[in-house]
Protein backbone atom coordinates (compact mmCIF):
# COMPACT_ATOMS: atom_id res chain seq x y z
CA UNK A 1 0.00 0.00 0.00
CA UNK A 2 1.49 3.36 -1.05
CA UNK A 3 -0.36 6.39 0.23
CA UNK A 4 1.19 9.84 0.45
CA UNK A 5 -0.13 13.35 1.03
CA UNK A 6 1.44 16.56 -0.15
CA UNK A 7 0.65 18.25 3.18
CA UNK A 8 0.51 16.52 6.53
CA UNK A 9 2.30 15.83 9.84
CA UNK A 10 4.27 12.80 10.98
CA UNK A 11 1.76 11.88 13.68
CA UNK A 12 -1.23 12.06 11.33
CA UNK A 13 0.55 9.88 8.80
CA UNK A 14 1.40 7.33 11.53
CA UNK A 15 -2.25 7.20 12.59
CA UNK A 16 -3.40 7.10 8.97
CA UNK A 17 -1.14 4.12 8.27
CA UNK A 18 -2.87 2.25 11.07
CA UNK A 19 -6.34 3.31 9.88
CA UNK A 20 -5.59 2.32 6.26
CA UNK A 21 -4.09 -1.00 7.33
CA UNK A 22 -7.14 -1.93 9.39
CA UNK A 23 -9.42 -0.92 6.54
CA UNK A 24 -7.45 -3.21 4.22
CA UNK A 25 -7.86 -6.03 6.75
CA UNK A 26 -11.64 -5.53 6.75
CA UNK A 27 -11.77 -5.59 2.95
CA UNK A 28 -9.68 -8.78 2.72
CA UNK A 29 -10.83 -10.92 5.66
CA UNK A 30 -11.29 -13.73 6.54
CA UNK A 31 -8.04 -15.70 6.80
CA UNK A 32 -8.00 -19.29 7.93
CA UNK A 33 -6.76 -19.78 11.51
CA UNK A 34 -6.07 -16.04 12.00
CA UNK A 35 -7.59 -14.59 15.18
CA UNK A 36 -5.44 -11.49 15.83
CA UNK A 37 -4.13 -8.53 13.85
CA UNK A 38 -0.86 -7.27 15.33
CA UNK A 39 -0.04 -3.59 14.67
CA UNK A 40 3.67 -2.82 15.19
CA UNK A 41 4.41 0.90 15.48
CA UNK A 42 7.18 3.22 16.65
CA UNK A 43 4.59 5.76 17.81
CA UNK A 44 4.11 5.26 21.55
CA UNK A 45 1.04 7.51 21.52
CA UNK A 46 -0.69 5.00 19.25
CA UNK A 47 0.51 1.82 20.94
CA UNK A 48 -0.29 2.98 24.47
CA UNK A 49 -3.85 4.17 23.80
CA UNK A 50 -5.45 1.10 22.25
CA UNK A 51 -7.86 0.81 25.18
CA UNK A 52 -8.54 4.53 25.61
CA UNK A 53 -10.13 5.32 22.23
CA UNK A 54 -13.67 4.34 23.22
CA UNK A 55 -13.40 6.39 26.43
CA UNK A 56 -12.25 9.46 24.50
CA UNK A 57 -15.16 9.14 22.09
CA UNK A 58 -17.71 8.86 24.91
CA UNK A 59 -16.22 12.05 26.40
CA UNK A 60 -16.64 13.95 23.14
CA UNK A 61 -13.04 13.31 22.09
CA UNK A 62 -11.49 14.74 25.23
CA UNK A 63 -8.98 13.38 27.71
CA UNK A 64 -9.98 12.95 31.36
CA UNK A 65 -8.50 16.42 31.98
CA UNK A 66 -10.91 17.94 29.45
CA UNK A 67 -8.14 18.75 26.95
CA UNK A 68 -9.27 18.02 23.36
CA UNK A 69 -7.90 14.89 21.68
CA UNK A 70 -6.03 15.75 18.49
CA UNK A 71 -6.74 13.90 15.21
CA UNK A 72 -10.07 12.57 16.45
CA UNK A 73 -11.16 11.80 12.87
CA UNK A 74 -8.38 9.22 12.48
CA UNK A 75 -8.88 7.80 15.97
CA UNK A 76 -12.55 7.37 15.09
CA UNK A 77 -11.65 5.48 11.89
CA UNK A 78 -9.34 3.20 13.89
CA UNK A 79 -12.00 2.56 16.53
CA UNK A 80 -14.68 1.72 13.93
CA UNK A 81 -12.34 -0.75 12.24
CA UNK A 82 -11.44 -2.41 15.54
CA UNK A 83 -15.13 -2.90 16.34
CA UNK A 84 -15.89 -4.27 12.86
CA UNK A 85 -13.02 -6.75 13.05
CA UNK A 86 -14.05 -7.89 16.52
CA UNK A 87 -17.45 -8.88 15.11
CA UNK A 88 -15.78 -11.40 12.79
CA UNK A 89 -13.55 -12.77 15.54
CA UNK A 90 -10.39 -10.75 14.83
CA UNK A 91 -8.74 -9.05 17.79
CA UNK A 92 -6.51 -6.02 17.16
CA UNK A 93 -3.42 -5.53 19.33
CA UNK A 94 -0.88 -2.70 19.18
CA UNK A 95 2.80 -3.19 19.94
CA UNK A 96 5.41 -0.45 20.33
CA UNK A 97 8.82 -1.12 18.83
CA UNK A 98 11.50 1.55 18.88
CA UNK A 99 13.46 2.20 15.72
CA UNK A 100 13.51 0.42 12.39
CA UNK A 101 16.29 -2.12 12.81
CA UNK A 102 14.73 -5.37 11.61
CA UNK A 103 14.20 -6.34 7.96
CA UNK A 104 10.49 -5.51 7.82
CA UNK A 105 10.99 -2.24 9.68
CA UNK A 106 13.66 -1.14 7.23
CA UNK A 107 11.43 -1.95 4.26
CA UNK A 108 8.54 0.02 5.74
CA UNK A 109 10.82 2.97 6.54
CA UNK A 110 12.22 2.99 2.99
CA UNK A 111 8.71 2.89 1.49
CA UNK A 112 7.56 5.74 3.76
CA UNK A 113 10.55 7.91 2.83
CA UNK A 114 9.99 7.22 -0.86
CA UNK A 115 6.34 8.29 -0.55
CA UNK A 116 7.41 11.43 1.33
CA UNK A 117 9.92 12.38 -1.37
CA UNK A 118 7.35 11.72 -4.07
CA UNK A 119 5.21 14.36 -2.37
CA UNK A 120 1.94 12.50 -2.59
CA UNK A 121 -1.07 12.90 -4.79
CA UNK A 122 -3.55 11.81 -2.11
CA UNK A 123 -5.47 14.18 0.14
CA UNK A 124 -6.00 14.08 3.88
CA UNK A 125 -9.19 16.10 4.14
CA UNK A 126 -8.99 16.06 7.94
CA UNK A 127 -5.63 17.84 7.99
CA UNK A 128 -5.77 21.45 9.16
CA UNK A 129 -2.36 23.08 8.72
CA UNK A 130 -3.15 26.12 10.86
CA UNK A 131 -1.44 29.47 10.46
CA UNK A 132 2.09 30.53 11.39
CA UNK A 133 4.29 33.53 12.00
CA UNK A 134 8.03 33.71 12.61
CA UNK A 135 9.29 31.83 15.67
CA UNK A 136 11.55 33.92 17.91
CA UNK A 137 13.09 30.95 19.73
CA UNK A 138 15.56 28.89 17.66
CA UNK A 139 15.41 25.12 17.36
CA UNK A 140 12.92 22.63 16.02
CA UNK A 141 11.56 21.42 19.35
CA UNK A 142 7.79 21.04 19.57
CA UNK A 143 5.74 23.29 21.82
CA UNK A 144 5.18 21.90 25.32
CA UNK A 145 1.97 22.03 27.34
CA UNK A 146 2.08 25.23 29.41
CA UNK A 147 2.02 24.73 33.17
CA UNK A 148 -0.88 27.06 33.89
CA UNK A 149 -1.35 28.21 37.48
CA UNK A 150 -3.38 31.38 37.18
CA UNK A 151 -0.49 33.51 35.90
CA UNK A 152 -0.75 36.83 34.13
CA UNK A 153 2.05 36.86 31.53
CA UNK A 154 3.06 38.39 28.22
CA UNK A 155 3.00 36.01 25.26
CA UNK A 156 3.83 36.21 21.57
CA UNK A 157 1.67 33.74 19.57
CA UNK A 158 3.36 32.16 16.55
CA UNK A 159 1.02 29.34 15.57
CA UNK A 160 -2.75 28.75 15.60
CA UNK A 161 -4.50 25.42 15.07
CA UNK A 162 -8.22 26.04 14.42
CA UNK A 163 -10.63 23.32 15.52
CA UNK A 164 -14.30 22.96 14.70
CA UNK A 165 -16.70 23.65 17.57
CA UNK A 166 -14.05 23.59 20.28
CA UNK A 167 -11.08 25.45 21.71
CA UNK A 168 -8.21 26.36 19.42
CA UNK A 169 -4.66 25.27 20.18
CA UNK A 170 -2.37 28.31 20.40
CA UNK A 171 1.44 28.01 20.40
CA UNK A 172 3.40 30.92 21.85
CA UNK A 173 6.63 32.22 23.37
CA UNK A 174 6.82 33.91 26.75
CA UNK A 175 8.15 37.48 26.64
CA UNK A 176 10.21 38.96 29.48
CA UNK A 177 9.56 42.70 29.52
CA UNK A 178 12.56 43.49 31.74
CA UNK A 179 15.06 41.53 29.62
CA UNK A 180 13.20 42.24 26.36
CA UNK A 181 13.68 38.61 25.38
CA UNK A 182 11.67 35.52 24.43
CA UNK A 183 11.77 32.07 25.93
CA UNK A 184 10.20 28.65 25.50
CA UNK A 185 7.75 27.09 23.08
CA UNK A 186 4.43 26.40 24.76
CA UNK A 187 0.81 25.76 23.90
CA UNK A 188 -2.50 26.44 25.57
CA UNK A 189 -6.12 26.47 24.45
CA UNK A 190 -8.34 29.43 23.78
CA UNK A 191 -11.95 29.99 22.75
CA UNK A 192 -12.27 30.92 19.04
CA UNK A 193 -13.74 34.36 19.82
CA UNK A 194 -10.77 35.22 22.06
CA UNK A 195 -8.31 33.73 19.58
CA UNK A 196 -9.33 36.40 17.08
CA UNK A 197 -7.88 39.02 19.44
CA UNK A 198 -4.56 37.21 19.90
CA UNK A 199 -2.89 38.16 16.64
CA UNK A 200 0.22 36.18 15.71
CA UNK A 201 3.53 38.00 16.03
CA UNK A 202 2.12 40.56 18.47
CA UNK A 203 2.52 40.88 22.23
CA UNK A 204 -0.43 40.22 24.55
CA UNK A 205 -0.75 40.29 28.31
CA UNK A 206 -3.06 37.38 29.10
CA UNK A 207 -4.60 35.57 32.04
CA UNK A 208 -4.23 31.78 32.28
CA UNK A 209 -6.43 29.33 34.12
CA UNK A 210 -5.10 27.19 36.99
CA UNK A 211 -5.09 23.76 35.36
CA UNK A 212 -1.66 22.52 34.14
CA UNK A 213 -3.32 19.45 32.53
CA UNK A 214 -5.63 21.61 30.43
CA UNK A 215 -4.02 25.07 30.11
CA UNK A 216 -6.32 27.78 28.80
CA UNK A 217 -6.06 31.49 28.13
CA UNK A 218 -9.05 33.07 29.80
CA UNK A 219 -8.66 36.73 28.88
CA UNK A 220 -6.56 39.24 26.97
CA UNK A 221 -5.78 42.12 29.30
CA UNK A 222 -3.89 44.43 26.95
CA UNK A 223 -1.50 44.61 24.04
CA UNK A 224 2.25 44.85 24.70
CA UNK A 225 4.77 46.47 22.35
CA UNK A 226 7.45 44.00 21.29
CA UNK A 227 10.93 44.82 19.98
CA UNK A 228 11.31 44.68 16.23
CA UNK A 229 12.85 41.35 15.12
CA UNK A 230 16.43 41.52 13.93
CA UNK A 231 17.10 40.88 10.28
CA UNK A 232 18.95 37.70 9.44
CA UNK A 233 22.71 38.06 9.79
CA UNK A 234 22.54 41.02 12.18
CA UNK A 235 23.31 40.96 15.89
CA UNK A 236 22.09 43.24 18.62
CA UNK A 237 24.66 45.78 19.85
CA UNK A 238 25.33 45.78 23.57
CA UNK A 239 26.24 49.09 25.20
CA UNK A 240 29.52 49.02 27.17
User: What local confidence, expressed as pLDDT, does residue 4 receive?
Assistant: 59
User: CA 30, 35, 41, 43: dihedral to nearest 10 degrees?
Assistant: 110
The CA angle 208-11-144, to the nearest 5 degrees, is 25
**pTM of the predicted model as reported, rounded to 2 decimal places:** 0.78
Residue 33 near residue 88 (C-beta atoms within 8 A): no
Q: What is the pLDDT confidence band of residue 2, given thresholds at 50, 70 and 90?
A: low
What is residue 1's predicted lDDT score, i.e. its pLDDT?
A: 55
**pLDDT, tens digit, for every residue of 115-144?**
666 655 566 555 455 566 888 998 888 899
pLDDT score for 145: 97
* Residue 30: pLDDT over 60: yes
Q: How far apart are alpha carbons 78 and 124 in whole angstroms?
A: 15
Helix, coil or strand: residue 191? coil
> According to the model, what pLDDT value does residue 77 have?
95
Q: What confidence score (pLDDT) does residue 120 get?
A: 56
77-94 tens-digit pLDDT = 999 999 999 999 999 999
Which pLDDT score is estimated for 237? 47
User: Are the beta carbons of 188 and 215 closer than 8 angstroms?
Assistant: yes
Which domains does the chain carry?
A: 10-118 (3.30.420.10), 131-224 (2.40.50)
What b/e readout covers 121-157, taking b as 16+ CB neighbours within 10 angstroms?
Answer: eeebeebeeeeeeebbeeeeeebeebebeeeebbbbb
Please give the C-alpha separations between residue 16 and each of 19, 73, 76, 131, 145, in angstroms, as whole numbers. Answer: 5, 10, 11, 23, 24
Amino acid sequence: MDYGCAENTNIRMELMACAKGLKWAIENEPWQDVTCIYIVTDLEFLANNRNNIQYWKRKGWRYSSGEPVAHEDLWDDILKSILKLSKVGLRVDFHYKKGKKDVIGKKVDAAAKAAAQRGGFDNDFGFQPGSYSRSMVPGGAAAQRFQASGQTLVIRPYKKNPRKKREEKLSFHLFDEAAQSYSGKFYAYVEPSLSLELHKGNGHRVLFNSDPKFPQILARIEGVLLPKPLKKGKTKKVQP
